[in-house]
Amino acid sequence: MSRRALSLPLMALLLGAALAGCATQALQTAPQDAAAPWTPNDPPGGVGMLSGERPPQDGTSPQATKVFAVPAEPQVAELQPVPATVPGKAYGLADLIDVAQTQNPATRIAWQQARQAALATGMVEASFLPFISANVIGGYQKLSTPLPVPLPGVNSLSNEVSGVSPQIALQWLVFDFGQRAALHETARQNANASNILFNGVHQKIIYDVTRAYFLYGAARSRVTIAEQNLANSRRIEEAAQSRMANGLGTTVEVAQARQQVAQARFGLVQSQGGERDAYQALLGAMGVSPLAQIRVREANGRALPESVGAPTERMIKAALVQRPDVLASFSALKASEAGITAAQAEFAPKVFLGAVAATGNTSLSATGLPTIGQQSSASGFMMGATMPLYDGGLRAARLKGAESLADASQATFQKVRDAAAREIVVAADTLRSALASYRAATELASAAAVTYDAAFDAYKNGLGTITAATVADSGLITARQAKTDAHAASLVAAANLAFVLGAMTSADMAGGLLAR
């Protein structure tokens, strides 16, 4: 064997070893220790210096401090643009829902998922059509053959062959015992489920914005009540100082009054913080930038009914036929059943048709001889069938998997349907309880207002104690806040009932909720 023949395997072995070494060198980009910070090798702009070990700043320990910061990526800091709003306009519930349906990323995600499912249906439909391809094959070959008897100046004979062959080929699966039809039904049912869930996402956004809107209105009412409570507390303080100036009060009464004012001021600060949190929750439900400044119309003044009836079986059935989650689960069940048919078709033969049309252009050149060119063309078609005989149980496993998926989809559908019916019953019970709480809170607020007025007048005229006045003041704000919260809870419960009934389908429906 020649030295050149030995060098080729040796070079291949060295190249393989070099490639293996390059693969293991990638470990240098990973953390080097489970307890040590990861530091990038080439941090952008030196930001990677945030990670690593630093000497302690207080000098209390000689051990370096481990910093697990990560390098910054400026591109991720691009915040969502603030939605354009009309200056000076007070946005009502329907307006806020309209903005949410336009700006919320969840609608675009659901839209693209529905489009992807529709494209999957189109791709299955394309499998019913023939596949036509254009191919070009070109090649070159050189052959050198030593002459048995060397001639003067010629030791070997060299041949060169080159050519190009363009082709058009057709492949067509003619018959497959319904496998493609089953796959198309699966894709169609999945697309139908995606379309249903798209509308379901919009229903969820309408409900979320409605709920956040009512809760924000309750938070604003709590601020108003806290401001009224602070004013009442200051009236008590003024009365205590007046009695002290006239020699009828004591320093203890003035101190109690000041404590009540401080408590009311603290409650106002907490209510204002709750209002800001509720506003951000509203923006979050809308899916807009947290920096958005939207003037929101008051949600108060909505009349509530005395009560609502218990849901009937007819009402529940009418709701189930339009619930997006139930309908989507049913489509998924149908898709899984079609998957069984597609898996069963794998056991049947497939009939196919093929055709090809080709032409070729070759040239032959031998050393010392003129070049010979040849052109040829060919065409033909064939029809055949294929039948898998043994695959190690792969088709049987696929069929079992499809049957298992169908059984799981059936159970999932029953679970979703039963949960939906239970949600309707619970939502109706919650609304009835919320309305009863509102009626009780209304009576409590009225009684607390009378108690406060009587206690304050009695203390101001020297017939009562400041303790009774401050207790009545605290009871009044508690009762008023309970009434506000019960009113908002009733509106939220009504919105939830409409949502679980599948009736929260438009901004107008949400805007007219419980309105008379």
Confidence grade of residue 508 (pLDDT, cut at 50, 70, 90): confident
pLDDT at 512: 67
Confidence grade of residue 22 (pLDDT, cut at 50, 70, 90): low
Architecture (CATH level 2) of domain 132-175+350-386: Single Sheet (2.20)
pLDDT at 374: 66
Confidence grade of residue 379 (pLDDT, cut at 50, 70, 90): confident
> Is residue 269 pLDDT above 80, yes or no?
yes
CA distances from 302 to 298, 486, 516 (A): 10, 13, 8
Residues of the chain with CATH 1.20.1600.10: 103-119+181-338+397-511
CA distances from 515 to 301, 303, 305, 494, 511 (A): 9, 6, 9, 11, 8
pLDDT at 150: 67
Architecture (CATH level 2) of domain 103-119+181-338+397-511: Up-down Bundle (1.20)
Confidence grade of residue 298 (pLDDT, cut at 50, 70, 90): confident
Taking residues 431-453, what's their average pLDDT? 91
Confidence grade of residue 369 (pLDDT, cut at 50, 70, 90): low
> Is residue 52 pLDDT above 60, yes or no?
no
pLDDT at 55: 58
DSSP tag of 60:
S
> Is residue 15 pLDDT above 80, yes or no?
no
Taking residues 243-267, what's their average pLDDT? 84
pLDDT at 16: 64
HSE of 214, CA atoms in CB hemisphere, 13 A: 25
pLDDT at 12: 66
Cβ atoms within 10 A of the Cβ of 121, count?
Answer: 19
Residues contacting residue 484 through CB under 8 Å, at least 6 positions apart: 218, 221, 222, 225
71's tokens: 């390098």
> Is residue 47 pLDDT above 50, yes or no?
no
Listed in sequence order, the DSSP H helices in 58-171 are: 93-103, 105-126
Task: Please list, residue by residue across 39-72, b when 16 or more beta carbons sit within 10 angstroms of its beta carbon and e when fewer do.
Answer: beeeeeeeebebbbeeeeeeeeeeeeeeeeeebe
Please tell me the pTM assigned to this model.
Answer: 0.82
More confident residue, 18 or 112: 112
At 483-506, the pLDDT tens digits run: 999 999 999 999 999 999 998 888
pLDDT at 337: 95
Distance CA 104, CA 84 (A): 14
Taking residues 254-276, what's their average pLDDT? 90
